[in-house]
Amino acid sequence: MRKLLPLLSDHPHGGGRSALTCRYRCGDACFQEVPNTSGNEYAGDVIAGALSRRSMMRATAAVTVAAAAGGAVLAQGAGAPAAQAAVPAHGGKDGRHGGGGGGKADGARGLRFTPVAPNKDDKVTVPEGYAQSVVIRWGEPILRGAPAFDPEKQSARAQAGQFGYNNDFLSLLPLRGEHGRQVLVANHEYTDEVLMFRGYDAAEPTREQVEIAWAAHGLSVVVVQEQHRDGRLTPVSRHPLNRRLTATSRFELTGPAAGSALLRTSVDPGGRRVLGTLNNCAGGETPWGTTLHGEENFNQYFANGSSATDKRYGVGTGATERKWERFDKRFDLAQEPNEVHRFGWVVELDPYDPESTPRKRTALGRFKHEAAQPRLTGDGRPVVYMGDDERFDYFYKFVSSKRMMKGSSRRAREHNLTLLDEGTLYVAKITGDSPAAEVDGAGKLPSDGEFDGAGHWIPLATGDVSHVPGMTAEEVYVFTRLAGDKVGATKMDRPEDVEPSPRTGRVYVALTNNTDRGKPGKAGADEPNPRNLNKHGQILELAEHWDDPASDGFAWRLFLVAGDPNDPATYFAGYPKEKVSPISCPDNVAFDPHGNLWISTDGAQLGSHDGLFGVAVQGDRRGELKQFLTVPAGAETCGPIIQDRRVLVAVQHPGEVDGASVEKPASVWPDGPGRIVRPSVVAVYRKDGRDIGV
Ligand code: FEO
Ligand code: CA
Ligand code: CA
Ligand code: CA
């Protein structure tokens, strides 16, 4: 019998993150008041009865999703989507206790590995029989002319041609005509100045340090080469597709709010041209061969916020941590109040066109975008699911009014780059089906045996038409959180990454945690967020009618209520809890080629470093969660990609532990003692060269 694991807590709200993470990642968001102070209360049965939940779950599982995520235009090789056959409904609550768990050759197909035990080792720990290698590190040169990395002589110019800091979302796209090569796209969410610069003085950052940080943010595109003998990948430096986009690169605002007075600044009176992208967290891949990148905690880069809308987005009223406002007045809202409105969007990048200007898609709304993952409706229109990662904020979707054009002709590519500019933005209202009194806030399952119910998509705006009383369409797009407040969206426990299953169309939403749930004056537990002081998070499973994109209802249930399996307040889709790995703070999610869900964690607090887990979502082993790897000290596991022969993870912020610095590192990963700690992408593969988990 596993003992309850000791809990780590060095966070004001009981989370597992270090204070250093809070300071640099999200501008101490958790130390501040929850920005959602709206009186928007969970309104019980407003939409209950809008649809029959259980019949819908069954119907959705049987829907053929042939069009969904369909054949990526450029798909070939290892990056191609999994088969899209219709699948039978899973066994529901019954008859799924068939298999044993955990054994080496045991588990659902794709998950047959010996689980890694929780640990605090300063390395990437992988299952027996597996090997790993670093694909690319912070500072490795990828553009022509960029110098080799030298942390003692770093410059902004060098950094602008090198892989950025704190890799988060990863995408691997096929590269036609170049054998064994794929295109790696990475987000660089933020910088850890004290871990980057020897002798860093936070009160007096230098211009060079600030400009290095600008160049270390943003996105990287780098072609990688597969190795013949194993799952290793190595960067192809100076490939013509390689690209860096930073906090000073040119971006374009498109869609219904582009050009709005709310987006105009002194240097951009047209309100359509922005310098840079910031705090790119997770993202997504489109079926037409582009990538999407969420701008998350953008608020922390802007000083002297004063408006009510700034407050709702958590923009501070004083100086910022990094003091960028001293070096570029656009970061000082007293001088340039609209600049902050030009961040907090979903960016669409065409990695196959190195000359293209990435677009910030205003039709998808402005909030702390964690991720954006599209699917196609039965009639070929993209639906993009999006989480706003803040305690008590909302879950959204966008449905395009245009159909994707198939093929890779120039005409098709140009058309598809307009898909995310026209459509309807919705926010989710999520209602439980059990009596409120049965949701006790401690995680006890209601008498119907599940946290589940119905949901309703509330339209916010379609093109230039607002559906929110008292707000124009432009206001809805720029101040989307306020629109959600007005229509009574459901306050969620930090909606992070989201991933539709390529097999069933069901959508999985990671809700990381919310230790403010149920505190005095704050919203208490409800069926989709059933635990007060929620430290460990949950994963919600949502089912829509894919053949009816106009449908505004969905069914949902919690797939996972995370924590130590010995804690009665946990739930693993009904699977026997003695056969699963402990998990805390689910964050990024991805599907493998077999249809299993993989989950990475951020801020795990069960006495182990963060890690990556795989779990079956269908069949007898639905809920059998197994840990695949753990990451080094202070790190978070990001950007998982699971291909047939390899697993890729972004090891983000290794060594980010309170009190650590370049001089006093808390981690020696990846290069050992005496070398600076470097966020890096890691590939994991089998020593015998066979497929992962079979
Ligand atoms: Fe950047 Fe929500 O994690
Ligand atoms: Ca994240
Ligand atoms: Ca229920
Ligand atoms: Ca995270």
pLDDT in tens, 346-384: 999 999 999 999 999 999 999 999 999 999 988 999 999
Q: What is the pLDDT of residue 670?
A: 98
Give the nearest ligand 1 atom to 282 CA.
1
> Ligand 1: distance of its center to the CA of 659 in Å?
22
Q: What is the pLDDT of residue 64?
A: 27
Q: Using an 8 Å Cβ cutoff, are 196 and 216 in contact?
A: yes
Domain ranges of the chain: 12-88+140-681
> Ligand 4: distance of its center to the CA of 656 in Å?
14
* Mean pLDDT computed over 531-559: 87
Mean pLDDT of the chain: 88
From 102-116, 351-365, 419-433, the region with the lowest mean pLDDT: 102-116
Which candidate, 497, 532, 555, places its Cα nearest to that of 61? 555
> Ligand 3: distance of its center to the CA of 391 in Å?
23
Q: What is the pLDDT of residue 110?
A: 98
> Ligand 1: distance of its center to the CA of 281 in Å?
5
> Ligand 2: distance of its center to the CA of 17 in Å?
13
Q: Is the pLDDT of residue 68 over 70?
A: no
Q: What is the pLDDT of residue 605?
A: 82
Which candidate, 253, 537, 597, 254, places its Cα nearest to that of 387? 537
- For residue 667, what are the contacts with CB-CB under 8 A and spacing of at least 6? 122, 632, 633, 634, 635, 654, 655, 657, 660, 677
From 24-33, 284-293, 507-516, the region with the lowest mean pLDDT: 24-33
Q: Using an 8 Å Cβ cutoff, are 67 and 94 in contact?
A: no
- Three-point CA angle 331, 335, 340, nearest 5°: 45
From 69-83, 160-174, 192-206, 635-649, the region with the lowest mean pLDDT: 69-83
From 11-25, 209-223, 427-441, the region with the lowest mean pLDDT: 11-25
> Ligand 3: distance of its center to the CA of 385 in Å?
24
CA 125 to chain centroid, in Å, comes to: 23
> Ligand 4: distance of its center to the CA of 256 in Å?
29
Residue 353, classified by CB atoms within 10 Å of its CB into exposed (0-12), middle (13-18) or buried (19+), is middle
Q: What is the pLDDT of residue 496?
A: 96
Q: How far apart are CA 673 and CA 347, in angstroms?
A: 38
Q: What is the pLDDT of residue 23?
A: 86
Split at pLDDT 50, 70, 90, the class of 103 is very low
Q: Using an 8 Å Cβ cutoff, are 271 and 360 in contact?
A: no
* Mean pLDDT computed over 255-265: 98
Ligand nearest to the CA of 449: 3
Q: Is the pLDDT of residue 195 over 90?
A: yes
Q: How far apart are CA 189 and CA 370, in angstroms?
A: 11
Q: Using an 8 Å Cβ cutoff, are 619 and 570 in contact?
A: no
* Mean pLDDT computed over 282-291: 97
Q: Can you read off the two tokens belonging to residue 397?
A: 């979707």
* Mean pLDDT computed over 209-223: 98
Q: Is the pLDDT of residue 458 over 60?
A: yes
Split at pLDDT 50, 70, 90, the class of 57 is very low
pLDDT tens-place string over residues 620-659? 999 999 999 999 999 999 999 999 999 999 999 999 999 9
Ligand nearest to the CA of 393: 1
Q: Is the pLDDT of residue 9 over 60?
A: no
> Ligand 2: distance of its center to the CA of 513 in Å?
12
Q: What is the pLDDT of residue 31?
A: 73
* Mean pLDDT computed over 266-274: 98
Give the nearest ligand 1 atom to 189 CA.
1
Q: How far apart are CA 116 and CA 34, in angstroms?
A: 36
Kindly report each contact of residues 267-272 with a partner whose C-beta sits within 8 Å and lies 24 or more positions away, as own/partner.
Answer: 267/330, 271/338
Higher pLDDT, 135 or 61: 135
Ligand nearest to the CA of 454: 3
Ligand nearest to the CA of 17: 4
* Mean pLDDT computed over 687-692: 95
Give the nearest ligand 1 atom to 370 CA.
2
Which residue reads 């000073």 in tokens? 248
pLDDT tens-place string over residues 243-256? 999 999 999 999 99
Q: How far apart are CA 237 and CA 148, in angstroms?
A: 11
Question: Would strands 250-254 and 359-361 be described as parallel, antiparallel, or unpaired?
Answer: parallel
* Mean pLDDT computed over 223-228: 93
Give the nearest ligand 1 atom to 297 CA.
1
Q: What does the longest C-alpha to C-alpha distance in the chain come to?
A: 65
Q: Is the pLDDT of residue 93 over 50?
A: no
Ligand nearest to the CA of 280: 1
Give the nearest ligand 1 atom to 368 CA.
2
Q: Is the pLDDT of residue 343 over 80?
A: yes
Q: Which segments within 485-617 are labelled E, that is strand?
A: 492-493, 495-500, 507-511, 538-543, 553-561, 571-572, 586-591, 597-601, 611-615
> Ligand 3: distance of its center to the CA of 497 in Å?
24
Ligand nearest to the CA of 435: 3
Q: Is the pLDDT of residue 535 over 80?
A: yes
Give the nearest ligand 1 atom to 497 CA.
2
Higher pLDDT, 5 or 661: 661
Give the nearest ligand 1 atom to 387 CA.
2
Which candidate, 350, 284, 378, places its Cα nearest to that of 63? 378
Q: Is the pLDDT of residue 62 over 50?
A: no
Split at pLDDT 50, 70, 90, the class of 549 is low
Q: Using an 8 Å Cβ cutoff, are 653 and 638 in contact?
A: no
Give the nearest ligand 1 atom to 389 CA.
2
Q: Is the pLDDT of residue 45 over 80?
A: no
Q: What is the pLDDT of residue 49?
A: 29
* Mean pLDDT computed over 452-472: 97
Instruction: Name which residue sits closest to atom 1 of ligand 1, judged by CA.
Output: 281
Q: How far apart are CA 293 and CA 36, in angstroms?
A: 24
Q: What is the pLDDT of residue 80?
A: 26
Q: What is the pLDDT of residue 364?
A: 98
Pocket of ligand 1 (CB under 6 A): 189, 281, 296, 370, 389, 496
> Ligand 2: distance of its center to the CA of 189 in Å?
9
Q: Is the pLDDT of residue 100 over 60?
A: no
